[in-house]
A and B are shown apart, each in its own frame.
Chain A
Amino acid sequence: MNTTTNPTTTNSTATAVRIGCSRGLIELRQSFTNGGELLSHFLWPTLMLTVMYFLRDSALGSGELMLGTLALPGILGMNAAMGMVSMSQILTAEREDGTLLRAKATPDGMPAYLIGKVVSVGGGVLADLAILLIPALLIIDGLSAGGPGSWLTVVWVLLLGMAATLPVGAILGSVFTTARGQGLIQLPMLAMIAISGIFYPLTSLPEWVQWLGQATPVYWLGLGMRSALLPDAALTVEIGESWRHWETAGVLGLWAVLGLALAPLVLRRMARRESGSSMSERREKALRRVG
């Protein structure tokens, strides 16, 4: 009874990738044409730039390294890691408001949704980084950036770092059903950032914290950024006095593989329990919370 004119083997994956990318780009455009979100895109980089501007002349200890120089790669690394936090927040929120249920009711909707999120969140993070990085290069002397080698490092560390952290954010975000529960999940993520060596050198922390820090993708994101943007003189405060590119690629790669393998499974499990009634229950709860 099926008189399909299309080839019966419609390539679902290709469709999902194409539609997911267009979905991500639409949402990315929306976030840059929306007053509130636009403010948040520029507020944080502006604050950071201001701080760095005033720090630009203070040296670290007796060394020749400037504090502002040291801070920039860390700030970049943290910004990139914050993509993980926003990913998890968005997932919880959109599960609560029914966006995910819509995706489930649409053919190829779930994979397209996930791809769209990676594009819009990842794209947003990259845009934020550019907003920060480009003026920073003009303000701060002593960054080793400029050579094609350091830019290449920035690019691969960022992309791999994004692949390592965004799926983790999606997994953490799908664990909790309400925005309130989501607040809890941010604590471990913020703790991860705190011990990542982004704010102060990991070598000045107790050894067990060093091990913990090195297990997180955030540390390696920060290290990769420092390796690209700082002169080798900054190596004195790093573990083993090395930029450890191979280890960086290895750990971030492992997180990426684990996350990308697990995220679809976890999301599918979560989506299986999604239905109109479970959503309206959460809506009732949320409205009671507000009202």
Chain B
Amino acid sequence: MTTSDRVVLDVEGLRMRYGANDVLRDVRFQARHGEVLALLGPNGAGKTTTIEILEGFRMRSAGRVDVLGADPAHGDERWRARIGVVLQSWRDHGNWRVRELLAHLGSYYAPYATGHVQRPWNADELVEAVGLTAHAAKKIKTLSGGQRRRLDVAIGIVGRPELLFLDEPTAGFDPRARHEFHDLVHRLARDHATTVLLTTHDLAEAGKLADRIVVLAGGRIIADGTEDELARQVAGEDEVRWTLDGSHHTRTTPDSTGFVRELFARHGTAIGQLEVRRASLEDTYLALVREEETATR
């Protein structure tokens, strides 16, 4: 990945309050240039609220937010031109044709081209990049759900954004569409050094797509790191099973290797049917979320 050390997204002490209810409490995370960051959490954790604040679509109650060097609450049109937002569309622009809409929306970005960023993306190349070449002349209302979603992504990146926001991008995708979509995001990050922030409640997706995962639960960030770091963060939920003299035993332990060494040292050949199950990221995630939920109760 072409990740550099430049911070393009910086959130500190972010709070969102509706009435007497804190939806977000002291949210804090960063994204570096070229990084794919997943905001992972159960439904209702505050993911969408967070991303909408970063997109400049929602006012926050408190905290410091810096997106590409500006406060999104006061971002001007020049700032807007450097951001890409993939919306969960429904049926807008139904009478427009695929290529026609991309060419039109691209024209908004032309005045904001810079020395190193050519804006907009050429409509034909973009149509091809999202695999819609065969449908370029079709009316948008005739597209299938998956095609429509790829068009949404194309619209989100038509201005060659430096930072792209994706809110639940693969909701309602079949496995193949999901796979193609993951490919597209990887290519964006690799070939165009686009920083990507996506929200998902799907752990496997976060693991597959993201360089780094930020776990949001109950309105707080409860973990932040790579897939491996997260698995290590909640230590010791490995599960060890064995038989001793014909009877079955199960034990969970933070240090499965040490435990097994001890087991053999003590019982030697009397141990049979040894099984060690490492904590998966899924266990980690569930444990984290469960911990948070019991803590707030």
A residues whose Cβ falls under 8 Å from a Cβ of B = 2-6, 10, 12, 15, 19, 22-23, 26-27, 30-31, 34, 94, 97-99, 101-102, 104-109, 112, 274-277, 279-280, 283
Contacts and interface: CB of A to CB of B under 8 A. Distances in A.
Given A2-B114, A5-B113, 7 more contacts: A98-B89, A105-B55, A105-B85, A277-B49, A277-B52, A279-B87, A280-B88
Contact of B48 (A2, A274, A277): A277
Contacts of B88: 276, 279-280
B52 A19 contact: no
Given A99-B92, A276-B167, A3 B116 contact: yes
Interface stretch (B101-109, B270-278, B282-290): B101-109
Interface string B74-108: 00011011000101111111011000100011011
B78 A10 contact: yes
25 contacts: A6-B113, A10-B111, A10-B112, A15-B108, A23-B104, A26-B96, A94-B92, A97-B92, A98-B91, A98-B92, A102-B92, A102-B93, A104-B57, A105-B80, A105-B85, A105-B87, A106-B80, A275-B55, A276-B48, A276-B57, A276-B88, A276-B167, A279-B88, A280-B88, A283-B90
A98 B48 contact: no
Given A26-B100, A30-B96, A97-B92, A107 B107 contact: no
A27 B55 CA distance: 28
B214 interface: no
Interface in B23-68: 48-49, 52, 55, 57-58
A31 B113 CA distance: 32
Contact of B95 (A2, A6, A34, A277): A34
Contact of A97 (B49, B90, B100): B90
A103 B140 CA distance: 17
B223 interface: no
A235 B131 CA distance: 66
A26 B102 CA distance: 13
Nearest to A11: B111
Contact of B87 (A101, A109, A112): A101
Nearest to B69: A1
A22 B110 CA distance: 15
A276 B91 CA distance: 14
Interface of B: 48-49, 52, 55, 57-58, 77-78, 80-81, 85, 87-93, 95-96, 100, 104-105, 107-109, 111-116, 155, 159, 167
- Interface of B, helix, strand, loop or mixed by DSSP: loop
A12 B81 CA distance: 12
User: What 7 A-B pairs come out closest when comparing CB atoms?
Assistant: A107-B81, A99-B92, A275-B57, A107-B77, A107-B80, A105-B85, A98-B92
Contacts of A97: 90-92
Nearest to A275: B57
Contacts of A12: 77
A9 to B, nearest CB: 11
Nearest to B95: A30
A107 B57 contact: no
Nearest to B85: A105
B44 to A, nearest CB: 12
A15 B120 CA distance: 15
Nearest to A110: B77
A13 B154 CA distance: 26
Nearest to A94: B92
A3 B112 contact: no
Given A10-B78, A106-B105, A276 B114 contact: no
Nearest to A1: B69
B45 to A, nearest CB: 13
A221 B88 CA distance: 42
Given A10-B112, A277-B48, A26 B104 contact: yes
A4 B114 contact: yes
Nearest to B57: A275
Given A3-B116, A102-B155, A275 B92 contact: no
Contacts of B95: 27, 30-31, 34
B58 A275 contact: yes
Contacts of A109: 108
Which residue among B48, B78, B155 has the maximum number of chain A CB atoms within 10 Å of its CB?
Answer: B78
Contacts of B109: 107
Contacts of B87: 98, 101-102, 105, 276, 279
A28 to B, nearest CB: 11
A22 B107 contact: yes
Contacts of A277: 48-49, 52
A19 B108 contact: yes
B86 to A, nearest CB: 9
Contacts of A104: 57
Nearest to A104: B57
Contacts of B108: 15, 19, 106-109, 112
A6 B89 CA distance: 33
Contacts of A107: 77-78, 80-81, 108-109, 112, 159
